[in-house]
Amino acid sequence: MLKFSDRAYYLPSSPIRKLAPYADAAKAAGKHVYHLNIGQPDIPTPPEFFDAFQKADVKVLAYSPSAGTTGLRNEIANYYDRLGYSLDIDQILVTTGASEAISFIVAAICNPGEEIIVPEPFYANYHAFAVASGAEVRTVSSTIENDFALPSIEAFKDQIHSKTRAIMICNPGNPTGVVYPREALQQLVQLAVENDLYLIADEVYREFVYDGAEHHSVLGIPGAESHVIVVDSISKRFSACGARIGCIISRNQQLLDVAMKMAQARLCPPAFGQIGAEAVYQLPQSFYDGIVAEYKARRDLVKAAVSEIDGAFCPEINGAFYAMVKLPVESTEHFCQWLLEEFDFDGATVMMAPGAGFYASRDRGLDEVRIAYVLNQTDLAAAMECLKQGLVAYQNREK
């Protein structure tokens, strides 16, 4: 019999995409589906992105250097410089999305059976990238009641043992929307240094912070230059998810050398995306201000809508464009599927990502959903009304 690897069985299915067949069926049946399940913004990709390719007038869409074009790496360095983080372009390795960046990092640092500590709930694909390298994710719990604040340093310490290789955070958080204060990051850096661990920070939502919250990159915490690895991406920042351009940033040259060997094996990141990315990294602060104001308004809308639903709870959200919301149902997995299969309100329904998929612990997140506020405010309001009406109908159905 033909065999598969062990990882073939352990690889999780995406919680964000697993309900897709039900959404397809709903659409085929004529329903409109509001997609709050996936972090795919509706914000237009800046025209500068597409214009750059016109201007480049490419005749042969050739391989780029494996580490990315010098032009793009320079613009990424300039962008970080404006944020107050000084980087040499050799400290920037362009990847095919943040996904590839995480894959490279895990493969570089973890042998099979070695572990990465991640606060849960966490971006579900971290688990898949760990499994691909045979590594394991060990979690420390954050809770919706506590606004998903970083767990105590003692909780992290309790999980460190001889097989631990790294701590990984997402800041601002997907799926939580949490923004970690500088003091919390300092404690993590200290813990990483004391225990010879890498501190991997996924900072792709860096700009999306609200209510005067300030984002602090781990790049700005002194004393851990070799330990810190940042994962970044243009997908959300510039609404260019399909470009598949991300990067690894580190001051650990040995780590970058290993990642470079992997980068050379896969030849190069997408050429078109790099040309566009080089252009949009030059956009002024006003570009970010406009986008952030829009997301803030959407967040306010989601929070207000949830507050009107009996038994629902939305924690404080200071960043990214997600809300983990507690709903008055036993199983959001069942409810989300039911919304697609059995429900409509004026011919529309809403798709969300069941919360359990973002937890590694079996019994957690069952009554939570992740809502990605990636629709314009009119559609978002309609989607939240759908959710509200759907909950009523679902509860009546249960009686």
Residues 264-303 that bind a copy of itself (CB under 8 A): 264-273, 276
Number of residues forming the site for a copy of itself (CB under 8 A): 78
Which residue of 21, 223, 242, 311 would you call a contact of a copy of itself, by CB under 8 A? Answer: 242
Distances, alpha carbon 158 to alpha carbons 162, 228, 326, in Å: 12, 21, 28
Whichever of 179 and 200 has its CB closer to a copy of itself, that residue is 200
Which range touches a copy of itself (CB under 8 A), out of 149-157, 236-244, 311-319, 347-355?
Answer: 236-244
Of 83, 262, 292, 393, the one binding a copy of itself (CB under 8 A) is 262
Question: Should residue 3 be labelled a site residue for a copy of itself when binding is judged by CB under 8 A?
Answer: yes
Binding of residue 182 to a copy of itself (CB under 8 A): no
**Whether 225 contacts 256, CB under 8 Å:** no
CA distances from 89 to 71, 99, 165 (A): 10, 21, 26
In the complex, least distance from residue 312 CB atom to a copy of itself, rounded to whole angstroms = 28
Closest CA to 221 of 195, 196, 251, 248: 251
Q: Binding of a copy of itself at residue 258 (CB under 8 A)?
A: yes
In the block, tokens 């094996």 appear at 265
Piece of the chain touching a copy of itself by CB under 8 A; list 40-48, 179-187, 297-305, 360-368: 40-48
CB of 9 to a copy of itself, least distance (A): 8
Smallest separation, CB 185 to a copy of itself (Å): 19
Residue 38 vs 153, nearer CB to a copy of itself: 38
> Is residue 13 involved in binding a copy of itself (CB under 8 A)?
yes
User: Strand pairing partners for 116?
Assistant: 137, 166
What mask, x for binding a copy of itself by CB under 8 A, covers residues 52 to 71?
-x----xxxxxxx-x-----
Q: How near is the Cβ of 156 to a copy of itself at its closest, in Å?
A: 17
Provide the CA 314 distance to its chain's centre, in angstroms: 19
Choice between 277 and 305, CB closer to a copy of itself = 277
Check binding of 86 to a copy of itself (CB under 8 A): no
Q: Assign 100 to helix, strand or coil.
A: helix
Of 146 and 376, CB closest to a copy of itself: 376
Smallest distance, Å, CB 341 to a copy of itself?
A: 21
Q: Which of 22, 34, 129, 394 binds a copy of itself (CB under 8 A)?
A: 129
The DSSP result for 333-374, as a single string, is HHHHHHHHHT--BTTEEEE-EEGGGG-SSTTSSTTEEEEE--
Cβ 274 to a copy of itself shortest distance, Å: 8
Burial of 120 (0-12, 13-18, 19+ CB in 10 A): buried
Q: What's at 258, amino acid-wise?
A: V
Segment lying near a copy of itself (by CB under 8 A), choices 172-180, 203-211, 252-260, 384-392: 252-260
Exactly one of 19, 22, 31, 114 binds a copy of itself (CB under 8 A); that residue is: 114
Look up tokens 């991300």; give the residue: 246
CA distance 396 to 339: 13
Give the pairing type, strands 136-141 and 92-95. unpaired
Nearer to a copy of itself, 59 or 362 (CB): 59
Single out the residue of 23, 31, 34, 49 in contact with a copy of itself (rule: CB under 8 A): 49
Tell the smallest beta-carbon distance from residue 383 to a copy of itself (Å).
18
Which residue, 309, 290, 362, 311, is CA-closest to 333? Answer: 362
Among 70, 86, 111, 146, binds a copy of itself (CB under 8 A): 111
Q: Are 359 and 120 in contact (CB under 8 A)?
A: yes
Angle at 183 between CA 182 and CA 189, to 5 degrees: 90
Instruction: Provide, for the chain, the percentages of residues in helix, strand and coil under a 3-state DSSP scheme, each rounded to the nearest 5.
Output: 45, 15, 40
121 binds a copy of itself (CB under 8 A): no
